[in-house]
């Protein structure tokens, strides 16, 4: 196999979308945004490029290593956004300061990860999400989780569920161990990586009681209908007990929303952004081994922008939603109608094409001068429902099954290619 030239390749983690997949992605994004609009969320748009300092202010200095960085002509350090929440926080604190709270905002766009590596890991991908800003209540958490369930349904992904956890439970357990801040961060990272040998070593170095260490290593098993009951046996701090009470209340509210069956408690969730302060949740589907939705509460993020707002939100990975769906969105690459014309009938053909497009049909007009039969056979084979040959005041309509009929052009202009005429004379 011949080696491809560099100009024929893409950088690692980048991909092209052909017409059908692009149409499906737009359809999924549109359905999710429409779902959010029905919940009162209004779409905002932020730039793809932000100042590097802005993004680091939102995510923390350690996030700088995973940014795509660039320098403008003035020497300013810029970066491509790695997620949408920080740009929305900047937008809120610069343009919407003083507006009545809560704010309900939605967004859609491409995000970029400079450090994503490994087979199949994308460094550019589409997200659509929302933020509920200015409410620190369980009612706000319930709204955003219930909306996440609806958004998954709108995405078209099959057999979806939401796993719900809370960072406060792990925080409470770590406080009970008496670990220094550095040790607590290391323990959390090892739990995230499921490195229980390394975790045990950290706990032993800190002199943590064996029973408390065993409780921490049991965290990955705290999921499902019995999770809260089992967690009560391990909750030995006021913080962890409070979290369990809040989760019970939250599940009750979600049942009132009618989405309780689609949400399960999972206290093993450890989101990889340090700014989460309360609930955390992920959306899963049986078709994928990784989440297609992630979110949670991030009450400290806005402090970095001078506006200490409580906030919660989530984002859907559109590419993963497409991978988990059955397809069929957005149509194929074929037009609804392929139009050709006989000598001297160009004007009538273009008038018909314009009329059909005004009826929201996709129409191609033959520009290569090919014979009618070749045009019709090619269009129908590609999936077009019908092809039309305009001869003047009349036209020939060929249907997908190969049958042809004659129609008056005036009838087609009034009602489209599915109206008027009878079979073509043999």
381: tokens are 């084979």
Residue 358 known to bind ligand: no
Among candidates 400, 397, 314, which has minimal Cα distance to 408?
A: 397
Are 199 and 302 in contact, with CB atoms under 8 Å apart?
Answer: no
Strands 160-166 and 263-265 turn out to be: parallel
Place of tokens 């999770």: 227
Q: Judge whether 271 is annotated as a binding position.
A: yes
| Kind and range of the H or E run holding 294 | strand 293-297
> Does 85 show up as a binding residue in the annotation?
yes
C-alpha 131: how far from chain center: 13
Task: Report how far Cα 249 is from the mean position of its chain's Cα atoms.
Answer: 28
- Residue 9 marked ligand-binding: no
Judge whether 24 and 330 are in contact, CB under 8 Å: yes
Question: Is 113 labelled as part of a ligand binding site?
Answer: yes
Instruction: Please give the Cα distance from 291 to 347 (Å, whole number).
Output: 53
Q: How many Å apart are CA 356 and CA 272, to the nearest integer?
A: 51
Which residues make Cβ contacts (< 8 Å) with residue 266, sequence separation at least 6? Answer: 163, 164, 165, 222, 223, 224, 227, 282
Ligand-binding site membership of 3 (annotated): no
Confirm or deny that 83 is annotated as ligand binding. Answer: yes
Q: Which residues have a Cβ under 8 Å from the Cβ of 416 and sit 6 or more positions away?
A: 356, 359, 361
- Cα–Cα dist 13/112, whole Å: 10
Rounded CA gap, 217 and 197, in Å?
A: 10
CB neighbours of residue 3 within 10 Å: 7
- The DSSP call for residue 137 is S
Cβ neighbour number for residue 74 with a 10 Å cutoff: 5
- Flag whether 298 is marked binding: no
CA atoms within 13 A on the CB side of 229: 3
Residue list, annotated binding site? 83-85, 113, 127, 131, 271, 275-276
Residue list, annotated binding site for L-histidine? 83-85, 113, 127, 131, 271, 275-276
């Amino acid at each position: 196999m011949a080696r491809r030239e560099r100009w024929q390749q893409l950088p690692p983690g980048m991909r092209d979308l052909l017409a059908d997949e692009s149409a499906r992605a737009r359809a999924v994004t549109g359905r999710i945004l429409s779902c959010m609009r029905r919940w009162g969320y209004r779409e905002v748009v932020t730039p793809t490029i932000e100042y590097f300092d802005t993004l680091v202010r939102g995510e923390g200095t350690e996030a700088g290593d995973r940014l795509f960085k660039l320098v403008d002509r003035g020497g300013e350090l810029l970066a491509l956004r790695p997620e949408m929440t920080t740009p929305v926080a900047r937008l809120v604190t610069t343009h919407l300061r003083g507006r009545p709270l809560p704010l309900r905002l939605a967004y859609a766009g491409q995000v970029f990860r400079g450090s994503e590596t490994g087979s199949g890991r994308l460094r550019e991908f589409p997200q659509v999400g929302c933020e509920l800003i200015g409410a620190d209540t369980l009612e706000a958490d319930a709204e955003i989780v219930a909306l996440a369930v609806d958004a998954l349904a709108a995405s078209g992904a099959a057999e979806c569920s939401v796993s719900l956890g809370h960072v406060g439970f792990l925080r409470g357990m770590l406080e009970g161990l008496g670990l220094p801040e550095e040790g607590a961060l290391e323990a959390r990272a090892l739990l995230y990586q499921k490195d229980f040998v390394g975790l045990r070593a950290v706990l032993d170095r800190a002199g943590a009681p064996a029973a408390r260490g065993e409780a921490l290593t049991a965290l990955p098993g705290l999921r499902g209908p019995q999770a809260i009951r089992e967690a009560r046996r391990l909750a030995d701090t006021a913080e962890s007990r409070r979290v369990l009470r809040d989760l019970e209340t939250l599940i009750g509210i979600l049942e009132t929303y009618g989405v309780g069956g689609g949400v399960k408690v999972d206290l093993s969730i450890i989101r990889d952004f340090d700014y989460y302060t309360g609930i955390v949740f992920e959306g899963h589907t049986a078709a994928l081994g990784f989440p297609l939705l992630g979110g949670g509460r991030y009450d400290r993020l806005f402090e970095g922008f001078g506006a200490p707002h409580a906030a919660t939100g989530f984002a859907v990975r559109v590419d993963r939603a497409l991978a988990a769906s059955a397809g069929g969105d957005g149509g194929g690459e074929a037009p609804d109608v392929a139009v050709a014309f006989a000598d001297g009938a160009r004007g009538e053909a273009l008038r018909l094409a314009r009329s059909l497009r005004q009826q929201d049909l996709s129409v191609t007009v033959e520009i290569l001068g090919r014979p009618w039969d070749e045009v019709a056979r090619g269009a129908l084979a590609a999936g077009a429902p019908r092809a039309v040959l305009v001869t003047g005041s009349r036209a020939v309509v060929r249907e997908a099954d190969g049958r042809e009929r004659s129609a008056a052009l005036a009838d087609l202009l009034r009602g489209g290619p599915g109206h008027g005429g009878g079979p073509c004379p043999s």
